């Protein structure tokens, strides 16, 4: 089943504005200021961060369950950094931080499962062109 998104931009880059929808329930607005100047509103990089965090959390949950240690919870934050590279806005890094509540596993095994999930997550694989995708995995006791 294909995932669907839609966006419309009106006006020029500096003073225009846009709206987007993702699926049936996610929508928002974005502007130059919300994207490049930390102004109010949404931006595409937030959608990428949410996609990466949710995909990774599902992949890690699946990997842990397959290894015989199903999680009680996986909470992941993703921070996408947009910087100018040779004068062009570029996603230069994504930092993942995940906290798992997983009975019956130690920190080393959790970290190993998290890194395996990161490399196998479909969104991480789609974002392979990002120069750095870091991961901090914390096992909650």
- The residues with which 83 forms a beta bridge, in sequence order, are 90
Q: Are residues 11 and 68 in the same domain?
A: no
Q: How far apart are CA 11 and CA 95, in angstroms?
A: 33
Per-residue model confidence (pLDDT) at position 38: 87
In tens digits, the chain (141 residues) has pLDDT values of 789 999 999 999 999 999 999 999 999 999 999 999 989 999 999 999 999 999 999 999 999 999 999 999 999 999 999 999 999 999 999 999 999 999 999 999 999 999 999 999 999 999 999 999 999 999 998
Q: Are residues 60 and 28 in the same domain?
A: no
> In CATH, what number is assigned to the domain containing residue 104?
3.30.300.20
- pTM of the entire structure? 0.92
Q: Are residues 123 and 105 in the same domain?
A: yes
Domain range for 88: 44-139
Per-residue model confidence (pLDDT) at position 48: 96
Residue 78: phi, psi to the nearest 5? Answer: -130, 135
Task: Please enumerate in sequence order all residues whose Cβ is within 8 A of that of 19, keeping only pairs 6 or more positions apart, or say none.
Answer: 7, 8, 27, 28, 29, 30
Q: Are residues 56 and 125 in the same domain?
A: yes
Q: Are residues 53 and 23 in the same domain?
A: no
Q: Are residues 65 and 101 in the same domain?
A: yes
Per-residue model confidence (pLDDT) at position 90: 95
Q: Are residues 56 and 23 in the same domain?
A: no
89-128 residues labelled b (16+ CB within 10 A) or e (exposed): eebeebebebebebeebeeeebbebbeebbeebebbeebe
How many folded domains does the chain comprise?
2
């Amino acid at each position: 089943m294909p995932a669907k998104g839609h966006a419309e931009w009106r006006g020029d880059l500096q003073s225009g504005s846009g709206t987007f929808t993702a699926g049936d329930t996610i929508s928002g607005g974005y502007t130059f200021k919300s994207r490049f100047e930390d102004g109010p509103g949404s931006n595409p990089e937030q959608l990428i961060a949410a996609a990466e965090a949710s995909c990774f959390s599902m992949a890690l949950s699946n990997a842990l369950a397959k290894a015989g240690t199903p999680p009680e919870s996986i909470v992941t934050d993703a921070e996408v950094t947009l910087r100018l590279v040779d004068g062009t806005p570029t996603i230069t890094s994504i930092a993942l931080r995940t906290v798992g509540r997983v009975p019956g596993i130690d920190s080393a095994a959790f970290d190993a499962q998290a890194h395996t999930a990161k490399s196998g997550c479909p969104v991480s694989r789609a974002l392979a062109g990002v120069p750095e995708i870091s991961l901090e995995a914390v096992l909650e006791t």
